[in-house]
Amino acid sequence: MNITKENIDDLNAVVKINITEEDYQNKVAEILQDYRKKANIPGFRKGHVPMSLVKKQYEKPVLIDEVNKLLQESLSKFLVEEKLDILGNPLPKTQEDFSWDADQFSFEFELGLAPQFEVNLQPKKAITSYKIIADKKMLNDQIENIQERYGKMISQTDIAENSNITGTFVNEEKEIEKKSTFKLDKVKGKTNKKSFIGAKVGDVITLKTKGLFTDDHLLQNHLGVAHDDAHGLDIEVQFTVEEISETEPADLNQELYDKLFGEGVVKDEKEFKSRLKEDAEKQFEQQSDQQLLNAVTEGLIESTKFDLPAEFLQKWIAVAGEKQLTEQEAEEEYTRSEKGLRYQLIEGKISKDNNLQVTFEELKEFAKGFIKSQMAQYGNANPEEKELDEIAGRILGNQEEAKRLSEQLMSQKLLTFYKENVKLKAKEVSFDDFVKEVYK
């Protein structure tokens, strides 16, 4: 057997494999001999079938199977030994004059080679790293929500501006009959609010659904209609008032602090506000980190220039899936996936150059941390180490779950690396400003 590689250019190569009769004949003869021993052919005793008959019936399919095995094994071994960094898989070249009746065979495979490039982690324009601050307005809104949530419900005789209203919406034609509770301040428009003001338990109010609430999603929830139906819904409904109340806000006192954070953890209003701010900003870290990862990814793709074996990749995409694609379909799929492929190569280069890898022990500890946080949500804040080990073992035994967790851990490692090595510009913003700037 003889294997050679010919470079077409920096991104494309052809591997040629020549297989002679000496490479496969012993294995083929061994298999045919085994067939002879086991063959049941009418007119012959088992094990006494003439070899000529066995060869006539089985030699060619056995030869084809063995040559293909030899071909795949030798090609895989060659790629590893030559340390070839390829994209996609080798593609066999069609040979019009090929025949399995020959004694020697020659095969050619096209290769798409990964490009050589360097990653610049210090672009001219620094990437913005956001720190989201819980501003005074956000904290005040959160405190009001907490006071209302833990407040005392007081019955009212008639509906006022500050009322909580419970009742049933009815429309027979649309088969709507839904009991709901809402605050009057969620009702939109002076005319609609005026319909409620002064109403008592038992009163029936006729309303138009169009523009009834401040958000169409509230209309969906309170009327029990489908999402698509809620948008632009313009019908008449009858609302029967069943309960009226107002919420007396809870006092900011030790009793409330203990309910929220545990006994004695927070001791006064200053500590309460400080803890709310700290918790809110900790929740925002995940969003700002994801934004930074996205921004760095886009920045690296933009600043790291290299060519790809586009023609080869399009040919490979055409035949790689369950269904073969047309040339146009393959080109469109390549266009959609090119950016992702570029970042895969950049990420691989960064990981290799900086020894960023996920070990099994790291993955196991990461899985245990994830499990522990999940269990804490259900009241088990201190699970035993043995229990965590057993659950982590089961999760990592699932290949898909193990892959998902491994990708999450690698993203964390890359994020930490980027924070330490990429040219960043820190910027403090409120959550509203963050949304405006990032998702504008």
Quick: pLDDT tens for 288-318: 999 999 999 999 998 899 999 999 999 999 9
pTM for the full predicted model: 0.72
**CATH number of this structure's domain 2-113, picked from the four choices 3.40.50.150, 3.30.70.1050, 2.70.98.10, 1.10.645.10:** 3.30.70.1050
152-248: CATH class: alpha beta
Q: What is the mean pLDDT of residues 371-382?
A: 81
* Farthest CA pair distance, the chain: 106
Locate CATH 3.10.50 in the chain.
152-248
Mean pLDDT computed over every residue of the chain = 91
Angle at the Cα of 226 (from 221 to 231), degrees rounded to 5?
85
Tens digit of each residue's pLDDT (9 = 90 or more) over 342-372: 999 999 999 999 999 999 999 999 999 989 8
The CATH architecture assigned to 269-438 reads Orthogonal Bundle (1.10)
pLDDT band, very low/low/confident/very high, at 103 (cuts 50, 70, 90): confident
Phi and psi dihedrals of 308, rounded to 5? -125, 155
> What pLDDT score does 383 carry?
83
What is the predicted pLDDT for the residue at 351?
94
Phi, psi of 111 (to 5 degrees): -120, 140
Model confidence over 243-261: pLDDT tens digits?
Answer: 999 999 999 999 999 999 8
Run of H or E residues at 381: none
Residue 172: its H or E element: none
Q: In the chain, count of helices (H) and strands (E)?
A: 14, 11
Give 58-74 pLDDT, tens digit per residue: 889 999 999 999 999 99
Per-residue pLDDT at 227 = 84
**Mean pLDDT (whole number) for 15-21:** 94
Question: Which three-class secondary structure string do you get for 186-255?
Answer: HECCHHHHHHHCCCECCCEEEEECCCCECCHHHHHHHHCCCHHHHCCCCCEEEEEEEEEEEEECCCCCHH
